[in-house]
Amino acid sequence: MFYLDPGLYVSSGLKKKKMELCEALMKGRPGAGLYIIYKNENSGKPEFTRGIFLRQSYYSKRRVHVLGLAEDYDEALEYLAYSAAEAAGVF
């Protein structure tokens, strides 16, 4: 099951399709070409993976807290870098 964060990050290239993407996630069908940023349930820190990997049974048995949607690897990595810097008090 996917839980969307109230402050869901969506990269600029996906803003027009935000509702479609969110609906697909809620139905358990994350986009294969997307990068899904989620909170690790053990560490509480953000991670990301390709959307197609979230279709595995491992994720269907867990509550996945989705923090953001990115259109490519660089966008997802940029989100994590910003999040790490913010947690370290750089900003």
* 30-62 pLDDT, tens digit each: 888 899 999 999 999 999 999 999 888 888 888
- pLDDT > 90? residue 26: no
Mean pLDDT of the chain: 91
pLDDT for the residue numbered 13: 92
The pLDDT of 12-41, averaged and rounded, is: 91
For residues 3, 58, 19, 10, the Cα torsion angle rounded to the nearest 10 degrees is 80
The rounded distance, in Å, linking the Cα atoms of 25 and 19 is: 10
Dihedral over Cα of 32, 33, 39, 43: its sign: positive
pTM of the model: 0.90
- pLDDT > 70? residue 91: no
Tokens of 18: 């935000």
Residue 81 banded pLDDT, cuts 50, 70, 90? very high
Helices (H), 1-91: 18-26, 57-60, 73-87
The pLDDT of 74-83, averaged and rounded, is: 95
